[in-house]
Chain A
């Protein structure tokens, strides 16, 4: 059974850093494309970043230069390192398997950026 479990969210001050994790089971993260998608409170879905099986990474303009997607093959886990956080980064962050569409999603982890 495929399962994605995010963790690492919380309350962080503007300008701070946070690392989100997404532990996968039932498939191998490094054999797949994996994306992060976020949803601000009361708003729609926003794609954030993707890492390809070969390791190439891509980012939405809104996070480029501040966020870094990575993975640990030994732990079968996807990460999102978020630096220079802003109030507008407040959202539920989902990881999803990306097979040109998102077929499996985690339950999400809430990141709140506030002083």
Chain B
């Protein structure tokens, strides 16, 4: 079982705001990173660190964290944002293992 917990599925109306959450004890110590994955494609980094976006990622993507919960917010969701989203961090038992959340399927209505 994953040490990072995500809701399996979330939906959002086109143009509205959606928050995808990730819970885990390790998030009290380490930042989460977030990945977007579309069918048949490799994951793409969308948020890392406190709230950083790699070059080419639209500014409608943002990240935040509070306590044991990290969040990915999409402000003004677009049809092309429909994808699976995964959080990632270190595991809670040691500093060297990595762990992914189970993933959230985002549907844009």
Contacts and interface: CB of A to CB of B under 8 A. Distances in A.
B61 to A, nearest CB: 14
12 contacts: A37-B43, A44-B102, A44-B103, A45-B37, A45-B43, A45-B100, A50-B96, A56-B96, A58-B96, A100-B33, A102-B35, A108-B42
Contacts, number: 55
A102 B54 CA distance: 11
Interface string B4-25: 0000000000000000000000
B108 interface: no
Contact of A107 (B2, B30, B42): B42
B100 A46 contact: yes
Interface in B64-109: 84, 86, 88, 96-103
A47 B33 contact: no
Main secondary structure on A side of the interface with B: strand
A103 B54 contact: yes
Contacts of B100: 37, 44-47
Interface of A: 35, 37, 44-47, 50, 56, 58, 60, 94, 98, 100-103, 105-108
B97 A103 contact: no
A94 B42 contact: yes
Given A35-B98, A47-B97, A58-B97, A105 B42 contact: yes
B93 to A, nearest CB: 10
- Counting chain B CB atoms within 10 Å of each CB, the highest count among A101, A103, A107 belongs to A101
A102 B87 CA distance: 11
Contacts of A108: 42
- Counting chain A CB atoms within 10 Å of each CB, the highest count among B33, B49, B101 belongs to B33
